[in-house]
Amino acid sequence: MSATALPPLAAECLWTAKDVAAFLRVSVSWVYLHVQQGDLPYRRVGGLVRFAPEDVRAYAGGESLPLGARRSREGS
């Protein structure tokens, strides 16, 4: 398995910042910076930041996400 490949189960679950960084080929600190700036869509799971793979793919593809998708979607 390559360094950027995710385990089969992880492809169906929420991603960590490390997963997103590997997918986008950026540093983990870049991921957190863009979360903080409100550019990268994320969800809060308790105190953790997690990412929906489809949102990250849309972001990488240059799709404009609705404003609500750029904020924490706690409980969704």
Does residue 26 lie within any of the structural domains?
Answer: yes
Does residue 70 lie within any of the structural domains?
Answer: no
Look up the domain containing 57 and give its range.
Answer: 17-62
Does residue 9 lie within any of the structural domains?
Answer: no
Q: For the CA atoms of 60, 63, 64, 65, what is the dihedral angle to 10 degrees?
A: -70
Does residue 42 lie within any of the structural domains?
Answer: yes
Identify the pLDDT of residue 8: 60
Does residue 7 lie within any of the structural domains?
Answer: no
How many domains does the chain contain in total? 1
Does residue 41 lie within any of the structural domains?
Answer: yes
Per-residue tens of pLDDT for the chain, all 76 residues:
455 666 665 546 999 999 999 999 999 999 999 999 999 999 999 999 999 999 999 999 988 665 555 554 444 4
Does residue 71 lie within any of the structural domains?
Answer: no
